[in-house]
Chains A and B, each alone.
Chain A
Amino acid sequence: MPFEWFVALRYLRDGKAQTALILAAVSVGVAVIVFLSALINGLQVSLIDKTLGAQAHVTLRAPRESPTALAFDAPGRAISRSVQPASQRLRSIDQWPAIMAGVEREPGVVAASPMVVGAGFAVRSDATCPVVVRGVDPERFLSIVDLRKKVVAGRFDVSGDNIVIGAALASDLGVFVGDKIHVTTTEGGDEVATISGVFALGNEPVDKAWVVTSLKQAQALYALPGGATTIELKVREVFEAESIAQSVRDRTGLDVVSWMKQNAELLAGLSAQSRSKNLIEFFVVVAVALGIASVLIVSVVQKSREIGILRAVGTPSRRVLLVFLIEGGVLGLCGSVVGSLLGSLLSKLFESLARGDDGAPKFPVQLDLELFVFATAVATGVGLLSAVIPARRASRLDPATAIRNG
């Protein structure tokens, strides 16, 4: 074993109480970082999952209609005119199959689904409820929003005149699986549909309004034969949705929005949460660094006579420097391993203690390898850095003075 390692490990072993104390401090610091990160990451992932449960990552629509002015200003001639915004009607995306095939090849896009989305009413005897009709290609739609998992009665089937509706809507209408309702649209369409399934997404506006039908039936309801008003996309990395939306917008000229734009407030909240987490972690890291540095400084003072002896018998100062750097690094590394375990245990314990009515954890935690690698690298780096001052101090000790006064 190299001399520096031998001496460093022997000193750590010899000063048991001191080593244990600083290891405990580093471990607690790392455990706090791991626990906090696991909790906040878990909460964020769960929040985003919930948000995106009923929402596509990127939505493409036909561009908004805008009026064209008939008269223009010309040099030396100003005219007075009034341009009124055009009223928007439901339109199909021009050449949607070709556009969809194009965006499916866009890097990062994992699924695309054409839809006809429009407003309408669900009517059953006296009850009339405003609804959002979503005509879908079932296979493609389910790869974006997996409604099958959320079906609470019946099954997901939109073939023929079958429809699937939200649980709150079913309750408002007083209908069950197998019942028939009228679906009328703002475009004058009117069809009788059979309820094949009822879903509950846990999102009130969706559960109260969605009527999911086949693309064909919706095309008939809105008089858009062969059309699709919307193309929804699912992307691999949810936080890349906005950049993908931008690229699709540039390529197609359509009206393209990402979930990030639609949930800007949520994102601002998440980012504020991340910043507070980083701030707390920063102070924990500072506290850990001060702890390691102070213990090592005390150790250098206590051992100055021994350092003087090492130097007097011919140990080069760089080896003395290394001894203390190794001590700092080892304390950081061991502390981070113990701290990671402690943090994981704490996170799991916390997750298992707080559970909702459905048995799912209220505070889901996310522990991944990246977090442990990060915590270990930070603690070891901090250990090394905080050892720099004491180590330099030790290596610069004058042997004669150290032996005389030490």
Chain B
Amino acid sequence: MVEPLLRVDGVVKEYGRGVLTRALDDVNLTLAGGEFAALIGPSGSGKSTLLNVIGLLDSPTRGRVLVGGTVATGQSERSLTALRARTLGFVFQFHHLLPAFTALENVMLPAWGDAGFASAEMMARARELLVDVGLGDCAGRRITQLSGGQQQRVAIARALSRRPPLILADEPTGNLDTASAEAVLLLMRRFNRELGTTFLIVTHDPRIADRCDRVIEIVDGRIRSDGPPGLASAGGSAAPVSVARTAP
């Protein structure tokens, strides 16, 4: 059997001392290469916690996470950083670009920070990606001089800069107007098709979820439903899904 790109095995995440808050409760999930999936659920359902655990930014209390067949759980901070750099790309809601740097420098950041030196190849790749996301002429501009939609496109270019097999996007369109949101979604879809990059997109927006190949719904730290978007909406029995769809 081919090892999936991502495997989450019985993950439990608890916070707090004394009074424990269980944010994730026995979550099992696999993602194969080339998938374009949405992770939905009401606020506080554990979406971002799951994304942080999958993104190796947070460690589970119990259970384990395997990325590309490598068991990430329990590894040292240094090997987690290396694994993260090699296999994962991040797109955040508030883009999280570095304001002191230009668009080009931000896109180069993952490869540059890992290697220590900037190479001509790195720079060429970053320029190419900026052209791909339609920002070829903004390479030398500071992040603060770009619009919200442009910033999110730079963030996508940055996430793709090391050609990671998996990109985790946390509300990538949450802060954008409809036109910009549409552009960002199309861009992610294009890279998914052209490069075969797997996307896991956390979203509140039903229009985004509807256009993914798979929708995973999480409620109270548990996976409530998992399947194609039509199925999830037809299944309609789960109230939280409709909550998620009507929530802003």
Contact = CB atoms under 8 A, between A and B. Distances in A.
Q: Give chain A's interface residue range (CB within 8 Å of chain B).
A: 20 to 34
Contact of A2 (B86, B92, B116): B116
A208 B78 CA distance: 81
A11 B100 contact: yes
B180 interface: no
A315 B99 CA distance: 17
Contacts of A312: 55, 57, 84, 90, 96
Nearest to A12: B100
B77 interface: yes
Interface in B77-102: 77-78, 81-82, 84-86, 90, 92, 96-101
A313 B168 CA distance: 12
B58 A400 contact: yes
Contact of B81 (A6, A10, A11, A317): A317
Contacts of A404: 48
Nearest to B92: A403
A134 interface: no
A319 interface: yes
A316 B110 CA distance: 10
B117 A3 contact: yes
A2 B96 CA distance: 23
Interface string A318-352: 01000000000000000000000000000000000
Interface string A1-29: 11110100011001000000000000000
A313 B90 contact: yes
Nearest to B53: A400
A305 interface: yes
Interface residues of B, number: 31
Interface string A384-406: 00000000000000111001100
B58 A313 contact: no
B247 interface: no
Interface string B147-159: 0000000000010
Contact of A314 (B81, B92, B117): B81
Contacts of B55: 312, 400
B120 to A, nearest CB: 14
A314 B84 contact: yes
B112 interface: yes
* Chain A interface main SS type: helix
B204 interface: no
Contacts of B86: 314
A306 B143 CA distance: 13
A312 B117 CA distance: 18
B116 A3 contact: yes
A316 B114 contact: yes
A311 interface: yes
B113 interface: yes
B71 to A, nearest CB: 19
Given A313-B158, A316-B78, A14 B113 contact: no
B98 A309 contact: yes
A378 interface: no
Nearest to B51: A400
Nearest to A396: B77
Interface string A246-258: 0000000000000
Nearest to A311: B81
Interface string A354-391: 00000000000000000000000000000000000000
Given A3-B113, A10-B101, A319-B116, A314 B96 contact: no
Contacts of A4: 116
Interface string B223-242: 00000000000000000000
Given A14-B99, A305-B96, A314-B110, 19 more contacts: A1-B117, A2-B116, A3-B112, A3-B113, A6-B118, A10-B100, A10-B101, A11-B100, A306-B98, A306-B100, A311-B81, A314-B86, A315-B110, A317-B77, A319-B113, A319-B116, A398-B57, A399-B57, A403-B96
28 contacts: A3-B113, A3-B115, A3-B116, A3-B117, A3-B118, A4-B116, A14-B99, A306-B98, A306-B100, A309-B96, A309-B97, A309-B98, A312-B90, A313-B110, A313-B158, A314-B82, A314-B85, A315-B109, A315-B113, A316-B81, A316-B113, A317-B81, A319-B113, A400-B52, A400-B57, A403-B57, A403-B92, A404-B48
Closest 3 CB pairs of A and B: A314-B85, A315-B113, A400-B57
